[in-house]
């Protein structure tokens, strides 16, 4: 549904997320939907350098905090890999490295192409961005590089 509204009328996608997420039960993967909005905003920004650190600011930082809190409450294995990939990215990009490590650990050897290919300098560099994020998170770097 979010993908539909994002393509048809972007403000409706935001309205959809603001209605669905608060009504979701604790632990629901629906808590990841705001992270999709953050990635979409970044992808559609013409000046990437202007928003490269958006995850350190509101509302993006709080979106990652709330999604992480919901994931912690979830049944193990109940979040799809793609949602966990978005969560891992958001936590890494917002410099919440301990939480990012927990999500990367939950992903194990799995990850989705999104959001990494959407956020890398080119889609071909998505895997490189993912590996960089994992290394930085495990190293406990204070800030992410993207």
pLDDT tens by residue, 55-95: 899 999 999 999 999 999 999 999 999 999 999 999 999 99
Range of the domain at 25: 2-139
The answer as to whether 106 is a domain residue is: yes
Contact yes or no for 13/2 (Cβ under 8 A): yes
Determine the 3-state secondary structure of 125 from DSSP: helix
The answer as to whether 72 is a domain residue is: yes
The answer as to whether 92 is a domain residue is: yes
The answer as to whether 146 is a domain residue is: no
Q: What is the mean pLDDT of residues 96-122?
A: 95
**Nearest alpha-carbon partner for 64 in 41, 96, 98, 22:** 96
Contact yes or no for 110/79 (Cβ under 8 A): no
The answer as to whether 144 is a domain residue is: no
Residue 100's pLDDT band, with cuts at 50, 70 and 90, is: very high
The answer as to whether 145 is a domain residue is: no
142 vs 137: CA distance, rounded Å: 9
**Nearest alpha-carbon partner for 39 in 57, 55, 15:** 55
- Overall number of domains in the chain: 1
What are the tens digits of pLDDT across the range 10-47?
A: 888 889 999 999 999 999 999 999 999 999 888 877 76
The answer as to whether 66 is a domain residue is: yes
In this model, does residue 102 exceed pLDDT 60? yes
Residue 48's pLDDT band, with cuts at 50, 70 and 90, is: low
- Helix (H) / strand (E) element for 61: namely helix 60-73
Does pTM surpass 0.75? yes
The answer as to whether 116 is a domain residue is: yes
CA-based end-to-end distance of the chain: 28
- Helices 10-23 and 33-44, interaxial angle, to 10°? 160
DSSP for residue 115: T
């Amino acid at each position: 549904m979010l993908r539909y509204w994002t393509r048809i009328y972007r403000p409706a996608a935001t309205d959809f997320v603001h209605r669905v997420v608060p009504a979701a039960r604790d632990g629901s993967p629906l808590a990841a939907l705001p992270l999709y909005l953050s990635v979409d905003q970044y992808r559609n920004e013409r000046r990437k350098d202007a928003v490269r650190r958006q995850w350190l600011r509101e509302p993006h930082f709080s979106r990652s905090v709330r999604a992480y809190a919901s994931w912690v409450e979830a049944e193990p294995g109940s979040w799809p890999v793609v949602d966990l990939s978005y969560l891992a990215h958001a936590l890494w990009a917002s410099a919440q490295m301990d939480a990012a490590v927990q999500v990367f650990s939950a992903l194990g050897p799995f990850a989705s192409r999104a959001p990494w290919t959407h956020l890398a300098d080119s889609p071909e560099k998505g895997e490189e961005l993912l590996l960089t994020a994992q290394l930085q998170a495990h190293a406990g770097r204070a800030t992410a590089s993207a």
